[in-house]
A and B are shown apart, each in its own frame.
Chain A
Amino acid sequence: MRTMTYGEAIREGMRIKMKEDANVFIMGEDVGAFGGCFGVTAGLYEEFGEKRVKDTPISEGAIIGGAVGAAATGLRPIAELMFIDFLTVGMDQIVNQAAKMRYMFGGKITVPMVVRLPAGGGVQAAAQHSQSLEAWLTHVPGLKVVYPSTPQDALGLMLTAIEDDNPVMYIEHKAMYAMKGEVEDTVAPIPFGVADIKREGADVTVIAYGKMLHEALKAAEELAKEGIEVEVIDPRTLYPLDQETIFKSVEKTNKVVVATEETKRGGYGGEIAAIIAEKAFDYLDAPIVRVGALDTPIPFTACLENYVLPNTVDIINAVKSIVVVANNPI
């Protein structure tokens, strides 16, 4: 075991694949000598040179569109967006080009690319640099969407993302880059569509990813003191989603909280809740509860941002609302 930060793990994943495969390269804003907006590509420019770590103009359409064209013609680009919020200016390239090309062309073109997308709030970056927009991407057939929440998963999922022959949206929570964690000495790709039970428990299932995974683990710790055993499931990949692991857990606990950082309305948490309601209803002893941000843009000042974003307390309250309901039927 070794200790690595989340940001270092993402970089290590890219580094390993770049050493293995000369077709893998990075393009994005300030990814070169500057090391990337959050320092994730630091050192790669020095190691691999400007051909493989390409600084681009501030031009998201060209970054993503160029990556799509390069992928369609035989390379394996990793495009970095500084913030997931900038998807808006490159969205056609993802939704109408990357995601659709293979299908529209009858399977005759392959688009093996990774788009790195720093997401999430908690760093006072305000409304245009703090969003959780995974639901925009999970809604689009043709994309795979991954969201690692630990250094180990960040590394393993990056390897798989680069190896995958399809466009993979790799979402990173920007407040977690400095978070340290243990990483296995033997590096292995983590397959998509395999959730990880981050904590076992019999009373209630909490499904969470990104920074909310860690809020959920903290909540579980607190709730354990009160005798409530929480099972925390990290889906790791949002599409494909490991439904079986979720259903098995629900069969055991009969209660579910889905905790995501997105604004609740139209979020991916709602999709997870709907899947459970549709396919595992008989296991449920209580309503599914969603925890998410208020339906507001993310405000700047700390007191407002903290108020809007969901946290450990919200998860604890959500768990208690259904554990109480189940144990004390009216």
Chain B
Amino acid sequence: MNLSNDKVIEMYNQMLKIRKFEEKAMELFAEGQIPGFVHLYIGEEAVATGACANLLEDDYITSTHRGHGHILAKGGNLKEMMAELYGKETGYCKGKGGSMHIADATKGILGANGIVGAGHNLAVGAGITAQYKGRDQVCICFFGDASTNQSTFHEALNLASVWKLPVVFVCENNLYGISMSQARHQAIQDVSDRAVAYNIPGVTVDGNDVFAVYEASNEAVKRARSGQGPTLIECKTYRHRGHFEGDPTVYRPDEELAEWLKKDPVKRLEKHMLDNKIITSEKLEALQKDVDKQIAEAVEFASNSPYPSLESAVEDIYTDMVEEVRVR
């Protein structure tokens, strides 16, 4: 696939933004600045980036509990994201959602989701809207390997395939469902095998190769836009961190992590760009500094923002009925 140098650099920039955002979140969580549960996307950046690089602003995505990468790749704003992780009023969800529930309707981001497997059917719904309105929008549904054991996965793929909905199902097979290795949670090696049951294309790609993800998604998005229905793409990848920050990862061997660290998708693309003279090392350094600056600004914005007022606790439950809820 021929991609312009600018497009490659843009994708690298995106991956780096995710990486550095996550590294900062990791640090802030360890310092106690960020409360709650944090599930980091480090190691999987090529999936969200390669897939979302095919989307337009009015396309949709559904995400997961490990959602920061998807949201950034779909155009999410660093400052509002960081502020939400802090639980601040200026965050994406005004402090009501936190890490697992970031959404941005204006960018077609239908939300990270704390329920494993819940995004599948929401993506079907977005596909219904696109088809109903006769628009050529698509929805990319991101999910993990373990969620393909949920009934929702099968219900969604079944309905999307029989109605030929414009949904691209992108499985991030990071080899674990929390502590359960794939071999222990399903009797298949390739999640894409499951496409057969729905008579849709199923492909497996190297999820740490942003070009492979881009290419597979490109074809799937084209299919979806042209009314040919859904595709299941499996991206084999690995999370460098535990399921959540604080997870001691006793369930996986250190050697396995070491092997995957060698396949780091960000370093891999960096090497590719330098080897192929897509970018000079000076420009690369400048770009990295710029991302650092953006992250620092996001942290500053978040830490300087106020917490929400207590009155706001009863707002946004309904589009109306605020005062009714306020009464204890």
Residues on A close to B: CB < 8 A? 25, 27, 51, 56-57, 59, 61-62, 64-75, 77, 89, 92-93, 96-97, 101-110, 141-142, 144, 165-166, 193, 240
Determine whether the beta carbon of B124 is less than 8 Å from that of A65. yes
Query: Which of A27, A71, A92 is packed against the most chain B CB atoms within 10 Å?
Result: A92
- Pick 18 A–B contacts, CB within 8 A, sort by A: A62-B124, A62-B152, A65-B120, A65-B122, A65-B155, A65-B156, A68-B122, A69-B123, A70-B128, A72-B122, A73-B125, A97-B121, A102-B316, A105-B101, A106-B96, A108-B103, A110-B319, A144-B318
Q: Please name the residue on chain B nearest to A74 by beta carbon.
A: B129
**Distance in Å: Cβ of A183 to nearest Cβ of chain B:** 27
Which chain B residues lie closer than 8 Å to A141 at the CB level?
317, 325
Determine whether the beta carbon of A70 is less than 8 Å from that of B126. yes
How far does the alpha carbon of A25 sit from the alpha carbon of B125 in the complex, in Å? 12
**Distance in Å: Cβ of B115 to nearest Cβ of chain A:** 5
Q: Which of A69, A92, A103 contacts B128 (CB 8 A)?
A: A69
Determine whether the beta carbon of B125 is less than 8 Å from that of A70. yes
Determine whether the beta carbon of A101 is less than 8 Å from that of B111. yes
Sort chain B's interface into a size bin.
Answer: 35 or more
**Distance in Å: Cβ of A237 to nearest Cβ of chain B:** 11
Which chain A residues lie closer than 8 Å to B105 at the CB level?
72, 105, 108-109
**Distance in Å: Cβ of B205 to nearest Cβ of chain A:** 26
CB-CB nearest 4 A-B residue pairs:
A69-B125, A65-B121, A107-B316, A106-B93
Tell me which residues from 121 to 153 in chain B have a Cβ below 8 Å from any Cβ of chain A.
121-130, 132-133, 151-152
Determine whether the beta carbon of A103 is less than 8 Å from that of B132. no
Determine whether the beta carbon of B118 is less than 8 Å from that of A92. yes
Query: Which of A51, A66, A193 is packed against the most chain B CB atoms within 10 Å?
Result: A66
Determine whether the beta carbon of A102 is less than 8 Å from that of B155. no
Determine whether the beta carbon of A66 is less than 8 Å from that of B132. no
Q: Which of A67, A89, A102, A144 contacts B125 (CB 8 A)?
A: A67
Other A-B contacts than A105-B103, A240-B321, 15 sampled, CB-CB below 8 A, are A25-B132, A27-B128, A62-B124, A65-B124, A65-B125, A66-B121, A73-B129, A75-B128, A96-B114, A97-B118, A97-B122, A104-B96, A105-B111, A110-B319, A142-B317
**Given contacts A65-B122, A70-B129, A108-B105, are A166 and B318 in contact (CB under 8 A)?**
yes
